A and B are shown apart, each in its own frame.
Chain A
Amino acid sequence: MISLSDVSKTYNEGRPNEVAALRSVTLDIAREGVTVFMGPSGSGKTTLLSLVGCMARPTTGRITLDGEPVSGLPERFLTELRRVKFGFVFQRFNLIRGLSVLDNVMLPAAPLGEEPKTVQARAMMRLEALGLAEKALMPVEVLSGGETQRAAIARALVNDAPVLIADEPTANLDTALTHRFLDIVAGLRDEGKTVILTSHDPRIIAASAVTAVVEMRDGKVVEVRG
């Protein structure tokens, strides 16, 4: 269970360009299943995702991960949590240009100090499962949109993190690719992973794989379904 109690996030606090991106959010996210944050653009979905994923700390409030408080931890512990607990698929994917697909997928494992062969085998397994094995040695620039997303998913999963986080994963995908993505999500759910997505895509909200929908507006949670 990931729990947020009375969490707020204010950017540029005390300055004229102050923005209250999240206001007093209290929410429980189940470890089993697929949770979607939905809401219009600017409603605070990405901000909420970055707090849940330990990318940033809340301005006020408390976040716990399986009962352990994380919101007050120093940066290096948050980094470790990101490395072992979370896999991220960013809205802009953020693969590193100029490196091969395989090198990109292996990146989160670099600080672990594992045998390079072990990491490579794990990365190839993920790429294989996502239908990218033949592209492993190509530079990431040559991938199509759908392939780039799947490479990003492979990277997010290479350390076998229990929680996968994806920001607007289907924003640029056509219907066929959206369904392919949902199939991948369903597979991960069946593996026992926690999946947290943001979206305002009705195809996602309606998908059978989705187990909970958190509706947001103006930095607040207005409704939780499922």
Chain B
Amino acid sequence: MKALRRQRALADYTLAALARRKVKNLALVGVFSLVVFLLASAMFFASALRHEASAALEGVPDLIVQHLSLGRQGMISEDRIAELESIRGVSKVRGRLWGYYYDRVSGANYTVMVPDGGQMPAPGQVIVGEGIPRARGLDWEGAPLFLSRKQGDLNRFDIAQIYSSDSALLTADLLLMNEADFRAFFSVPEGVYTDIAARVRNANELATIIDKATSLMPDERFVSRDDIARTYMKLFDWREGLMVALGAMAMLAFAIFAADKASGLSAEEAREIGILKAIGWDTRDVIAMKLWEGGLVSVGAFLLGAVAAYAHVFWFGAPLFAPVLKGWAVIYPDFALAPVIDGSQLVTLFLLTVLPYAAATVVPVWRAASADPDAVMR
């Protein structure tokens, strides 16, 4: 009880002391929360990107077969499906139809696909990602989507559904079509596909299977899930790398800021500590009071920075990191990442900012409070 009341008295003093140096403390909270804001933004952004990457990989087949003609990818014949099925350990072989469509109206690239089972649109209908109606400015429900491949040739599609998923990055520009519509729209003849996807029952046999398939079909290229994973990771890695660089810069700024605090107290603060000691405050009372002060400033600033970072990344689409997202800027005008928060990262950030700050606050205080207080007699 006594100890509690003592802490309360110290906390009261701290509040009065904070209010008294309003400008200085607001500046402190400002700098601190700015650093937390930058670091947490980078962290939220990076982990959201990683989440996108793993979501992207989830749907990737074990093996993709592409046809190469003159060293470039061409359409692959459906005959390869049967050949592939004849190899032991290969299952669920299916031809895929997909491609990119440059939309002159919005200046954006859409990924057009014939879905693999599941939600197959009816003829004349499409299922689109959230980004497409937005890029087109279709703001009323049921507005038809006109697509044209050449001057004067307009194809009308009705939007059956607007696709939304956890992974905005991957589905925002997606346009799903019926197979017949796809072949007609892109003039793809029957009997060929963009590529062929297959499952492999035992991942360890993948290399053997690719060997066998290569001798069976010398003109085809075989891409394994791992190859794709690497490509995806590269795509996300450089974006994450930028984030890490930004984070490192913010951390450095924070280190300078903390070191500056650790290097000493202002003459006024040192005298105040001397006065408190002289009138009977223990060294531990002074330190507890300064811990209250540092705690209120740093925890408050941490919360402020973390909440602002959450809003920045997940509500406002990380405008500060716009350059990182440049390639997607057209299709994602107000692109929203799925909110994914890595709790352990947040805890780490807390420990990396609040604790050093507390230590940086306490060390000089402890030094000042351990000296004889007779200096305040003069």
Contact = CB atoms under 8 A, between A and B. Distances in A.
A101 B101 CA distance: 76
Interface residues of A, number: 38
B157 to A, nearest CB: 70
Contacts of B253: none
A94 B377 CA distance: 9
Given A75-B370, A103-B16, A113 B3 contact: yes
Contact of A57 (B3, B283, B372, B376): B372
Interface secondary structure of B, over-half rule: helix
B278 A82 contact: yes
A75 B13 contact: no
A110 B283 contact: no
A79 B376 contact: no
B16 A111 contact: no
Contact of B275 (A56, A96, A98, A156): A96
Contacts of A90: 278, 376-377
B275 to A, nearest CB: 5
Given A96-B272, A111-B285, A114-B5, A82 B279 contact: yes
Given A55-B377, A76-B283, A109 B372 contact: no
Interface string B265-289: 0000001100111111111010000
A111 B5 CA distance: 9
A70 interface: no
Contact of A113 (B9, B12, B372): B9
Interface residues of B, number: 35
Interface in A52-92: 55-57, 75-76, 79-80, 82-84, 88, 90-92
Contacts of B285: 110-111
A111 B282 contact: yes
Could you say which of B1, B10, B20, B374 has the most chain A C-beta atoms within 10 Å of its C-beta?
A: B374
Contacts of B12: 116
Contacts of A114: 5
A114 B3 CA distance: 9
A95 B277 CA distance: 13
A83 B280 contact: yes
A12 B359 CA distance: 30
Interface string B239-281: 0000000000000000000000000000000011001111111
A49 interface: yes
Of B1, B4, B276, B280, most buried by chain A (CB within 10 Å of CB) is B280
A22 to B, nearest CB: 12
A155 interface: yes
A75 B378 CA distance: 20
A108 interface: yes
B376 A107 contact: no
B5 A76 contact: no
Interface in A16-41: none
A75 to B, nearest CB: 7
B6 interface: yes
A46 interface: yes
B302 to A, nearest CB: 26
Given A50-B377, A111-B285, A113-B3, A159 B272 contact: no
19 contacts: A50-B377, A56-B372, A56-B373, A76-B283, A79-B281, A79-B282, A88-B278, A90-B377, A92-B376, A94-B376, A96-B272, A99-B20, A107-B279, A109-B9, A110-B281, A110-B285, A111-B6, A114-B5, A167-B377
Closest 10 CB pairs of A and B: A83-B280, A98-B20, A113-B2, A113-B6, A56-B374, A110-B9, A55-B374, A50-B374, A113-B5, A108-B279
Given A50-B377, A116-B8, A156-B279, 9 more contacts: A56-B373, A56-B374, A76-B283, A90-B376, A92-B376, A98-B17, A107-B13, A113-B1, A113-B2
